[in-house]
Amino acid sequence: MVEEVIQHLRKEEVRYYKLFTQRTERSNDRKDLALFDAYRSGRSFKHENENALYRLKNRVFHDLNLSLYMQHLENDPSYIAFQYLFLAQTFRRRQCYSIAYKYLKKGPKHTLKKDDAAVLNSLYSEFISLSHDLPEIDLHFYIEERKKSEVQLKQIQDIDNVLAVLTHRINTTQSFSQSNFELQAELRKLIERYSDAETLNQSKQLRLKVYKGVSHLLLREKHYRELEAYLKETYDDFERNSIFDQSSHQTKLEMIIYRINSLFKLNQYKESLQQSELLLEQLKLYQAKFRNAYIFFYFNAQIINFSILDPNKALGLIDEALLEPAISQNPQHWNYLHIDKTQLLHQLGEIKSALRTIARLTQSAALKNMPENYRMKVALAQIMLRYEQLDFDQLERELHAWENRYKLILDQDEHQRERLLAQIIREIIFDLNEEKQGLVSSWKEELISFANEEEAEDMDVLNYVRWVKKNVAHPYG
C-alpha cells in the first residue's frame, strides 16, 4: 500500500513529507528517503535484509500518514473538530475535566461551518459524558442539541443509504432491475418527505443530499430538460445562500458536469461548451486541489461537443487529454478516451486507424482490470471494425475466440443484444441465400427492438443499431 500512496501524492505533499521527516534528523544517508524516492519514480527498492525492509516500509508509511494528517488538518473544519474531540477525551481520561471542557467547547464552532451532523453528534455525546464529572455543563441543553442533530443525521443517512445501494447495484449489474425501481421509488418518497422549506433550511448537508437524490432520479429517468432546469435553479440558489465552500466544492463541480451533459443531450452544444469553461475556472480554486480529480471531465465535455461540431478538433483534444498525467495514469479515463477516439475515427470513415486504436486498448494492461462485460463489448467493437475492413479470415478467428472467451456472460439475458449481433456478423460474412437473408433480417429487427439508435449510443462501444442499419442492408460495405 505504501508504494501506491507515494505514487499518488501531489507535489506539495512530497515537499511537506520531506520537510516533516527531517524535523529531527538531517542526513545524506536516509534509507527512508531513498525508499520514498525510488517508489515515487516507479523503481523498486532493494535491501539486503527482508525483515529490515519490512520495518523500513512501516516506518515510511507511519511518517507519511502523520505528514498527510498534519498538512491537511486545517483544510477541513470537521478534522479540526475531531482534533478537539480527541484532546477533550484524552484529558477526560486523565481526570483533567476543566481542560477537557475547554477543548470540547472549541469543536462545535468548526463543525457548524460545515454543518456536519455526524461530527456534531459526537461532540454533543462527549459533552453529555463529561457532564457526569463537571456539573457546570448544561446537560439539558446538550441533550436537546443532540436530539436535533440525530434527526438531521437520520434524514441525511436515509437518503444516503438508498442512493448508495442504488448506485452500487447499477454500477455492478450495469442494468436497471425491478429491485432498483423499488429503490428509486423509496428515494422519491424520502425526497418528498424531507423537501419542505423548514426542514431544508435547518441543514446544509440535507440540502446537498436532496440535490443528489433529485438529480440522480432525473438522470436515471433521462429527463434531461427537467434536470438542466433543476441544476440551473439549484446552482443559483446555492450560490445565493452560500452553500458552496471548499468542503462542498466537489458537489459544485459535479453540478456543472451534470449540466454540461444535460445541455449536450438537449443538442445545446454551445451552451454546454460555455459550462465546460466554467468548470475549468472552478478547477483553479482552492489552490487547484481538485484539478487532477476533475480535469478529465473538462476534456470530456469539450470532446463530446466537438465530436458533433468539429470531429477533427475532437480528435486533437483526445490526444491533448492523454498528455495529462492525471488522465493517462487513470486506467478508466485512459480506456474511455481510446473508445472515444475509436468512435470518432469510425465516424470519419478511418477504419484502419480506428482498428489500430482499439487494438491498443484491447492489448493494454488498463483494460484487464475493467469488468468482464466491458471487455466483451470492446472486443465486439473490434470485430465490427474488422468486418468493415473486409478482413474476413481474421474476423472469423476473432469472432470464434470472442464467443469462447465470453461464453458464460453471453448466456445472460442482459447480453441478448451482443448475442444477436454476433449471430448476424457470423452469417453476413458469407453470401446469403433467401432463407438466411430472412433470418438475418428478423435478427436485425429484434436487435433494434431492444434499443433505438439514440439509446444504443449510450450503451455500446460502437452503436449496434447504426451499424446493422448500415451493414446488414448492404453487406460488405
Question: What is d(CA 445, CA 448) in angstroms, rounded to the nearest whole number?
Answer: 5
| Of 439, 418, 410, 415, the residue nearest 427 (C-alpha) | 439
pLDDT at 189: 62
Asked if 159 and 200 touch (Cβ cutoff 8 Å), the reply is: no
Count CA within 13 A, CB hemisphere, residue 180: 17
pLDDT in tens, 174-230: 343 444 455 556 656 665 565 554 554 556 776 787 788 778 777 877 889 988 998
Asked if 295 and 329 touch (Cβ cutoff 8 Å), the reply is: no
Would the pLDDT of 133 be above 80? yes
pLDDT: which is higher, 406 or 179: 406
State the distance between the two ends of the chain, measured CA to CA, in whole angstroms: 51
Residue 42 burial (C-beta neighbours within 10 Å; 0-12, 13-18, 19+): exposed
pLDDT in tens, 233-245: 889 988 988 888 8
Write down the residue that cell numbers 477525551 correspond to: 89
Cell representation of residue 258 = 451534470
Rounded to the nearest 5 percent, the helix, strand and coil shares of the chain are: 80, 0, 20
Give residue 114's pLDDT band: very low, low, confident or very high (50, 70, 90). low
- Identify the weakest region by mean pLDDT among 8-17, 190-199, 451-460: 190-199
Question: What is d(CA 58, CA 42) in angstroms, rounded to the nearest whole number?
Answer: 18
pLDDT at 356: 95
- The dihedral of CA 127, 132, 137, 139: what is its sign? positive
Question: What is d(CA 302, CA 98) in angstroms, rounded to the nearest whole number?
Answer: 58
The CA R_g of the chain, rounded to the nearest whole Å, is 28
How far from chain centre, in Å, is Cα 379?
Answer: 24
Domain spans of the chain, in order of start: 2-73, 76-137, 362-477
pLDDT at 352: 95
pLDDT at 28: 66
Cell representation of residue 236 = 443559483
